[in-house]
Structure 1
């Protein structure tokens, strides 16, 4: 038996009075989080949740996230964390595709995205955070009612190491998001591996500014932190000034961020906000997007703290490589494979490329997902003989450090979030005045890449840039919709009619 909820349950049993999470003026101990998670589990079991049933949640970085997350796991379910910026249609898609039996969400949510639940008859149970649904009588219950009405005595359903613990949605070149099935073993071992890498300590204090629905924060901070009894300071929405203030107030020792967060912290320093991070932070981590060497070096010069960069994907739980603390930090490198993980560089035929040549990163180890939920063909495309091909092109130096040099896919990384052009193109082309569209990423100093759409209008149309942007904003999450639109009479194509996006860059 192995259950990811052990990361909480074991620590709660050993040190129930120790502070687990801090969010604003709310503080909960491990014992309190564990008891509340037990009530959530009892609620789900009372609703006939079966082992392996999937339960979705849309919750920001607030104390309720770990309560619901571990409650689902304690009941033997699989957690489906959803991006908090999804809109109603996107929520409905994820609930339907995952086959979610229940849905926990904040109300009111952004544009009432929770109403996606109403569009999916197969998702039977709704639990809201905060207010009840006064305009939808008889629909759902509140988390407060769940916690009040269900006992908090210990519960931990038996699950096997190979059972699915978490389904993380990630897009691909086919456009529609796919759910990566991560097992209890995937998640537990990757978190424990991180604790070894970081020399994790019970007296560590993490600032959790990355969204907990993302695999980075989930594994490296929530699961790894809870396993050793560290305290998590939750920041629901990243703000550089507030982040610096929280680091000082709570004596934060571990910070994990994406490159744009480090860029924003540097800007606040330039605005005159001085913080001695060297006297606080034991370690700063970066992932999810390539960290510019200039940002790394400026951060070290300004704050006196080096940034250790790593690499991972949702499909790999997530961490694959990391710049180890006991070895020299290579600027611009994603580091070396972590314990138990193999990495090689391959060509399009899955053959290993000669030493010194760039190739696509392929990964094998305990961290590789079971596969894409309900998509055996898509799984077969990316996994062969246990090796997962990442779609990222890299090189390796003589000391075994890897360096990302390009992406094999058209993936856009905007502020640390993955944006897949085809998904956007399918939405934008549905506009009645759009004839053809191609979406690409263009370099942006602040967020890494910005989303730009090249559009051919329908004959006679006078569609304006701001109108199409507004139309897209209503249908896509805030990090996805294009901020830039360029209208053209033609778009470059090859002989078969395939758009040549490289000619647009």
Structure 2
């Protein structure tokens, strides 16, 4: 095993351990069981819909997740290892369902609820999903393809936004969502059960608590894209997720914050690996912070109102959200005296945004770096003012980073090359894709596909990306998928997709199209895209060409198109 000079350790904040200790835990469910009791009397989650609020304590989440786990085991007949898809925004039902799945020994498949029917079908079949918990707002899309998957209709549990608020308040929320805002398209999934009913039925049966398995057992399939454009399931084990939770916790403990006392604003969806690990597993479950759940982070007035009501001490987010808040008229009027830690991930934090954030809020916007295959956190800047804007910080405890050339040979300090990562948080592999795994993990080193430079103090700066990946608001968009779907349009001859700079979302998708039928219009393609892509994947720009630039073997030169678009 090759050794790496850990030059970053000298710049670790005081109190951050160089290595993490698993503390005797062999599974994530052990950590969940212990901490739900440890923080029993503390608030665990707060949820807001309009003027209504509902809070759950750790003790309540403990009890409700046991009830729900009993239902999954006894009434639904799910067995340890079965794959359960969680498909909802940041609702109180999410942590209940997640902890229940763990306690029943199920494998979690986090799924973006905004996926189109085509995307659902691919992910469910690839992961061999047999049951799903889905918000009713998205059930119509599932109905289109459920019969093409292994999910039976009596294995569908439907969640509503208002049900956890209870009584007249809950009824009123659901009435508004369904009838006034028209946010629930009609669906017919005969045989499905309502979440609240499943909770009540589970209360009448006995749970046989799962052991949680061993450190190397896979407990979560977290889907990412790939250079092939096919979404791949990263197999995350007990070890991966425990390690990353403890790694982040070790970093956070260098700050002046207290276990069981903090409030963390959670605007990013919990099905996204950043929020899943950092907000829910680390800061919430392990550290005992109360997660203030934001159902729709695009509703900026609601986000500002929630911040005003809760005064969070910790916040996570992405550059686009921070920038949008800074440009919201009422944001600067908030009281930021409690806000201590703000961490940005999933996409690069822009220097002007970080500087303005500091000026307006008085808190430092700290940038980190990670990827789904690393559970996800790899590096983070020191908190407060010791960080370096424009870098992704230092490798976190028990993590090594090296910079390599195309043959995986380590490069001298200061030279640009591929960022490679080694640590206990690196995934087991891609589900059923040994060749892709072998290309991505070389002798224990995870190839990130990002080009970076490490300085003499161990700080890493990302220079460019090797892959053709397009980064839209922190989500990966892969050109092959866009091209493959649009090429299926009967009037399209050729298509190339590239990322172009966008002030709101880092990058936007632009497609160059050669027509097969001269009658093809941009409006037709936009309608086709709306049907087949979730929001962030939809091309924003369309350009028709007579021909596309190609190599001598006929491969389309995306880079030439991308460079041309950026210059324009």
What's the TM-score, normalizing by structure 2? 0.85
Q: Which stretch of the first structure deviates more once superposed, 301-310 or 357-366?
A: 301-310
* 1:259 correspondence with 2:316: no
Shift of 1:463: 1.2
Partner residue in 2 for 1:205 = 263
* 1:35 correspondence with 2:94: no
Q: Deviations over 1:352-380 (max 9, x none)?
A: 11221101011111000000011111101
Matches within 5 A, 1:106-117: 106-109=135-138, 112-113=141-142, 115-117=144-146
* 1:81 correspondence with 2:110: yes
Pick aligned residue for 2:488 from 430, 438, 441 = 430
Paired residues in the alignment total: 502
Quick one: distance in 2 between partners of 1:137 and 1:276?
44
* 1:128 correspondence with 2:149: no
Quick one: distance in 1 between partners of 2:456 and 2:303?
38
Partner residue in 1 for 2:215 = 161
Q: 1:384 to 1:211 in 2, by over 3 A?
A: same
Where 1:56 maps in the other structure, the secondary structure is: strand
* 1:18 correspondence with 2:63: no
Q: 1:153 to 1:194 in 2, by over 3 A?
A: farther
Partner residue in 2 for 1:68 = 97
Q: Deviations over 1:136-182 (max 9, x none)?
A: 46422221121111137665311111111111000111111000000
Gaps of 5+ in 2: 1-24, 161-173, 175-183, 563-568
Partner residue in 1 for 2:27 = 3
Partner residue in 1 for 2:274 = 216
Quick one: distance in 2 between partners of 1:250 and 1:289?
26
8 Å Cα contact 2:129-2:150 kept in structure 1: no
Q: Deviations over 1:303-331 (max 9, x none)?
A: 22211111000000100001123772101
Pick aligned residue for 1:231 from 287, 290, 295 = 290
Shift of 1:476: 0.8
* 1:462 correspondence with 2:534: no
Quick one: distance in 1 between partners of 2:235 and 2:532?
27
8 Å Cα contact 2:263-2:292 kept in structure 1: yes
8 Å Cα contact 2:345-2:369 kept in structure 1: yes
8 Å Cα contact 1:117-1:126 kept in structure 2: no
Matches within 5 A, 1:44-55: 44-46=72-74, 47-55=76-84
Q: Deviations over 1:278-313 (max 9, x none)?
A: 412111001111111111111112222211111000
Quick one: distance in 2 between partners of 1:135 and 1:242?
28
Pick aligned residue for 1:501 from 548, 554, 558 = 558
Quick one: distance in 2 between partners of 1:276 and 1:399?
37
Q: Deviations over 1:360-417 (max 9, x none)?
A: 0111110000000111111011112111101011001111100011000011111111
Matches within 5 A, 1:276-355: 276=334, 278-325=336-383, 328-355=386-413
Where 1:232 maps in the other structure, the secondary structure is: strand
Pick aligned residue for 1:382 from 430, 440, 452 = 440
Pick aligned residue for 2:201 from 141, 149, 167 = 149
Partner residue in 2 for 1:244 = 304
Q: 1:424 to 1:5 in 2, by over 3 A?
A: same
Shift of 1:276: 4.4
Quick one: distance in 2 between partners of 1:241 and 1:108?
22
8 Å Cα contact 2:36-2:285 kept in structure 1: no
Shift of 1:248: 2.2
Cα RMSD of the aligned pairs, angstroms, is 2.0
Q: Which stretch of the first structure deviates more once superposed, 345-354 or 402-411?
A: 345-354
Quick one: distance in 2 between partners of 1:302 and 1:84?
34
Higher RCO (CA-CA < 8 Å; seq separation 6+): 2
Partner residue in 2 for 1:92 = 121
Quick one: distance in 1 between partners of 2:139 and 2:453?
41
Quick one: distance in 2 between partners of 1:186 and 1:155?
25
